[in-house]
Amino acid sequence: MKRSRIIQGLMRISSLNEDQLYDLIRFDLDNGIYFFDIADCYDNTNAESKLGRVLKAHPELRKEMFIQTKGAITFGESGGYYDFSYDHMKEALNASLNRMGIDYVDSYLYHRPDIFMDASEVARMVDEAFKEGKIKHFGVSNCSKEMMKYLSSELIHKIEYNQIQLGLGHMPLVEECFNFNMSNVEGNSRTEDTYFYMKRKGIQLQAWSPFLVNFFEGSLFDENKYPEINKALSEMANKYQTSKCAIATAFVLALNKDITVITGSLNKDHVKECLDGENIRLSKEDWYYLYKASGRMLP
């Protein structure tokens, strides 16, 4: 079976019991989704623990699943903060493995950037984790080009992934490319041309929350709040004989053959719509039409 470019996000599995989570994982695997994304902070560590109970009850799943988890977001008495320190990340990785009851994760991401990050500490922790067989691939999440360059200055192992919000409802990563040398707000550099840096370096972009508007103003598919883009999505859905969700998925996947899309949906019908988006090849004209319909200016 062809491996899907859709990643199953497990952030919201608190609403599922273990049998329901197993059913979702089995559905995903049977439909080509092999990549599962989770994090230690999801549901205050309970998401990883729940996944661990499912893996313990169904050990045959592990060899079929590519499991990615993330660390760095932590919580103290005063609230949340980020911590890339060697001690914290070493402890965080081991705790994640213990909660999930597994010996290694296929991919480990540093979740959100810590302003106090020390590249040598990150490199030390990551190198040790590779040598101990606890991680097989390494990446970051929500990191800029300069942050990746700084970390790479000390890392032995390549940054393979960067998980960034991208979709028709949130496109600073793309808008910046189109509005170079313009005096409008979109022409201001907000992403440091991170998109083309990643493309040049072969760093896979994992698009998170592809169907949400910004951080977080609601669903892209809310026809009352966003009538123009929904009109365009409906037109494209009719043209390609599919759903609006499939079109929105195809829009992101069209950017680069290596881009993957994370669906946080736990609804099998919605997951299937994302999978349908893999089979759609939007024309360049249709892609630009959707881009403009989302409210973005094309100079």
**Contact call for residues 119 and 154 (beta carbons, < 8 A):** yes
The answer for residues whose C-beta is within 8 angstroms of residue 53's C-beta and 6 or more apart is: 18
Distance of alpha carbon 125 from alpha carbon 109, whole angstroms:
12
Which pLDDT does position 273 carry in this prediction? 98
Residue 22 binned pLDDT confidence (cut-offs 50, 70, 90) = very high
Give the tens place of pLDDT for each residue, 42-67: 999 999 999 999 999 999 999 999 99
Strand 79-82 versus strand 73-76 pairing type: antiparallel
CA-based radius of gyration for the chain: 19
Residue 299 has what pLDDT?
87
Confidence band for 189, pLDDT divided at 50, 70 and 90: confident
Residues 1-21 have a mean pLDDT of: 95
Which listed CATH number (3.20.20.100, 3.40.50.12280, 3.30.420.480, 3.30.460.10) goes with 6-222+253-281? 3.20.20.100
9-20 mean pLDDT: 97
What number is the average pLDDT over the span 13-37?
Answer: 98
Q: Assign 181 a pLDDT band (cuts: 50, 70, 90).
A: confident
Q: For residue 151, what are the CA distances in angstroms to 98, 131, 205, 218, 251?
A: 27, 19, 17, 34, 31
Q: For 5-27, what is the mean pLDDT?
A: 98
